[in-house]
Homo-oligomer: A and B are copies of this chain.
């Protein structure tokens, strides 16, 4: 349940998608690492809050207690701490496992790919953070998924807002998850949850509402830096200062047109400590697709300066910032697009089929195809002693093979091969 086989057409499309993403990661100087699918159970426990119940555990068959990884971030932090690495820029594309309720049509599975880029190390503020946003911008532009928006916020600003609105620190994390719903429900409902479920006074909720409904750019940052209450909060001030710096860098990158400083962005994970961001696709107004694939965010990430320290015996911290590309959701969109366009994705790369028009020519075929393989040419033949020429040509059309190399008795005598273009039916002897 919640897993699937990928037939050749899907793998071919996915490989194309991965190639774009990996090219971008490499363009930014990232190295690849790989970690086991299996982790010690204790490594994963206590890192995902309530979601820990979604972790797949292995049976105790003697030896260590194991579980399947839930994401790539916790194994990355464990890897850094274990190997005392304080400085790395890495990407990792691999499967992760969650005992969640699958929603296959929306690209949500129990086994799915994650696609992460992270920068670990003690650096000057916002330079790596800005690069993560540049990467999201590059990937979403290259994939031509339509218009998109990258929302940015900072956990320190959000916590500062909660603090000046009189919320006790113990409620910050649960407030984050309520605020995060503002992209799916109106403020009225979010306020109701704050008051009804989370026990806030209507006044406190309204005070929060005045802030978290704000979004904008540099001018909003300036405005909040002048806010008499918020600017008095140390954390918020730090966050706003860094946000201003981030927007300076993003301006130099020329990408602020797609960036929105959005105070309602909170993100679910506990471990974020600074900048957070999330990219969403914007539904075009002229979109009249019959069965639109509904997708949420297509990329997200943020700064997590405390996670590595949780795995270090001495608690030594390694600041990290990273981005995860929502590869499964993007794949659903691309797959849907291929289906509706009727485009046929080739599943093989074969350049030429070696064919014979008469019987008793298997030896000639085997000899020629062997020469082609040894010359590095992608070649196939049918595994029959005496296949009909029509069947061989049909196979080319089915598989999208562009050329046929034909050897009949005459060609053998003349020492030539007849090369036929499958689409145009043009032939040359060579």
* Chain A residues proximal to chain B, CB less than 8 Å: 1, 3-8, 10-12, 14-15, 26-38, 56-61, 63-64, 66, 68, 79, 82-83, 88-90, 95, 97, 99, 111, 119, 121, 123-124, 127-128, 130, 134, 138, 249, 252-254, 347-350, 362-363, 366-367, 370, 373-374, 376-380, 383-385, 399
Contact B61 A58 (CB under 8 A): no
Instruction: Provide the bound-state CA to CA distance between A362 and B125, in Å.
Output: 12
Considering the complex, give the chain B residue whose CB is closest to the CB of A128. B383
A31 contacts B58, C-beta separation under 8 Å: no
A204 to chain B, nearest CB (A): 39
Question: Interface SS of chain A: helix, strand, loop or mixed?
Answer: mixed
Check if B29 sits within 8 Å of A254, measured CB to CB: no
- Please, which residue of chain B has its CB at the minimum distance from the CB of A4? B36
For A10, list chain B residues within 8 Å (CB).
34
Assembly of this chain: how many copies? 2
The reply to whether A29 and B380 contact each other, CB–CB distance below 8 Å, is: yes
Known: A34-B5, A38-B111. A348 touches B61 (CB 8 A): no
Would you give the shortest CB distance from A378 to chain B, in whole angstroms?
5
| Residue ID in chain B nearest A252 by CB atoms | B366
B33–A378 CB distance below 8 A? no
Residues of B within 8 A of A64 (CB): 1
Q: How far is the CA of A348 from the CA of B91 in the complex (A)?
A: 11
Q: How far is the CA of A28 from the CA of B29 in the complex (A)?
A: 33
Q: Which residues of B contact A348 (CB under 8 A)?
A: 26, 29-31, 89
User: Complex: how many Å from CA A58 to CA B34?
Assistant: 22
B-chain residues with CB within 8 Å of residue A58 when the two chains form the complex = 56-59, 68
CA distance A370 to B363 in the complex (A): 57
A-B residue pairs in contact (CB < 8 Å), sample of 13? A5-B34, A5-B35, A5-B79, A6-B33, A12-B31, A27-B378, A31-B348, A37-B95, A37-B111, A58-B59, A119-B383, A121-B383, A252-B370
Write the nearest CB–CB distance from A17 to chain B, whole angstroms.
Answer: 13
Check A11 against B29 for contact (C-beta < 8 Å): no
CA gap between A121 and B26 in the complex, in Å:
40
B383 touches A350 (CB 8 A): no
- A38 / chain B contacts, CB cutoff of 8 Å: 3, 56, 97, 111
A349 partner residues in chain B, CB cutoff 8 A: 26
Q: Are A8 and B29 in contact (CB under 8 A)?
A: no
Which residue of the partner chain B has the closest CB to A88? B8
Task: List the 10 closest A-B pairs by CB distance, nearest first.
Answer: A8-B31, A123-B383, A29-B380, A6-B34, A3-B36, A31-B347, A252-B366, A11-B32, A57-B59, A127-B383
